[in-house]
Amino acid sequence: MIVEYLLDRELVEATVRLPPRGTRWIAVYTGVEPGKQVWRSTRLTDRAAAMAQAREWEVNARRDRAAYRNLPRKPSMRVWRGSAEAAAGLLTQAEVAAVLGISVRAVREIERRAFAKLRRHPALRRFWREYLTGNVEESARCQDLSRSEINALFRLARTALERRALRKLLAVILADQLLKT
């Protein structure tokens, strides 16, 4: 009976908060991404008006969430050890962490921020439109690595994981250079 009651009612997830030394209300509601709260200034000093604004934003976000449910899920960028992607020479997060000398958690956070920036970048959007129309020209090819440069890279590798990641990187670079010639 309680569940039916809640399903029949339009639940309001929005609320407003007044910062400790502030005079303008902050709206808090669930955004387009499920489970992500949005904190947004209403720029209003009246609580009732701020709550009305917060409810309006929340209704718009709920409508957008419903529209996005029908879209396919975004593909995963993860490479697991032993997978076809790893066999193709792509690096796992642990291998990237070993090469960069940071934690795997930091790699995940960097990936998340980088993809968010890429999705928003206007030059990348413009490039993608050009690519889809076939108007993109190839740039000059990369310089070949000399034997001494490759040896220097392997001397810098401290662990077996770093050496394995370096071998994969070199294989990708060399394969790319062979394809361009």
Q: Which whole-number Å values give the CA distances from 117 to 68, 93, 110, 141, in the listed order?
A: 20, 19, 11, 26
3-state DSSP assignment of residue 40: strand
- The Cα 133–Cα 2 span in angstroms is 55
Global confidence as pTM:
0.38
pLDDT tens digits, residue range 46-71?
Answer: 999 999 999 999 888 888 877 776 65
Contacts of 25 (CB under 8 A, 6+ apart): 16, 17, 18, 41, 42, 44, 45, 46, 47, 50, 51, 54
Tell me: the pLDDT tens digits for 112-146? 888 777 777 787 777 777 777 777 665 544 456 77
Do 170 and 144 form a contact (C-beta atoms < 8 A)? no
More confident residue, 176 or 39: 39
CA 130 to chain centre: 23
